[in-house]
A and B are shown apart, each in its own frame.
Chain A
Amino acid sequence: SVDEDAHDEL
């Protein structure tokens, strides 16, 4: 699950 502030960049 991806919470809203997950960092999507490596």
Chain B
Amino acid sequence: MNIFRFAGDMTHLISILVLLLKVYATKSCSGISLKTQELYGIVFLARYLDLFTDFISVYNTVMKLVFIGSSLAIVWCMRFHRVVKRSYDRDVDTFRHYFLVGGCFLLALFVHEKFSFREVFWAFSIYLEAVAILPQLILLQRSGNVDNLTGQYVLFLGAYRGFYILNWIYRYFTEDQFSRWISCVSGLVQTALYADFFYYYFISWKNNAKLKLPA
């Protein structure tokens, strides 16, 4: 564990806490893409198949349970919670995310570290996470104004993989046999997808204005 990875995990945790706060405090999921939440649920379920077979550390296991639990809880809320589901706007959350699932799985069948059930699902989860934010970013562009908590949620979610990139650079220089090129390339793509969001977020913060993404 290094400071970059720990900062990344904490930033990821904060993004989830901000999302949970928004949904539970406001009893509303306006501006949140259910499809992105479903994709994250698939990402964590596919990535943590080794949850009960490989014990790395208490921290690792607890964080995996938090990530799986929170993503499934949000999906449940947006689909079934009596009050929350009313604020879900199906008409703006129209990204066809099943293509992302199919495409990433196909890619994982061809590009993986080892052709085993777990490694193919692990690579699938890495590729899917890189594109999971697309429905959310498209929804924000469609819905124009972005409320503060949603904006902070996306900001932290984008920043966490940026910390992981620093972690991979650090590990590359400090560990001899370190080679996580699947994670690195996907992490770079994932962080790059947030580039324009980060830009408009910075502009709105500098001008102390409401965050607006151009349509």
Contact = CB atoms under 8 A, between A and B. Distances in A.
Interface of A: 1-3, 5-10
Contacts of B55: 1-2
A10 B183 CA distance: 11
Nearest to B67: A10
A5 B114 contact: yes
B contacts with A: majority SS: helix
B200 to A, nearest CB: 28
Interface residues of B, number: 20
Which 4 residue pairs spanning A and B have beta carbons closest together?
A: A6-B54, A8-B56, A10-B63, A2-B54
A7 B50 contact: yes
B42 to A, nearest CB: 16
Interface string B9-41: 100100000000000000000000000000000
A3 to B, nearest CB: 7
Contact of A9 (B54, B67, B114, B164): B164
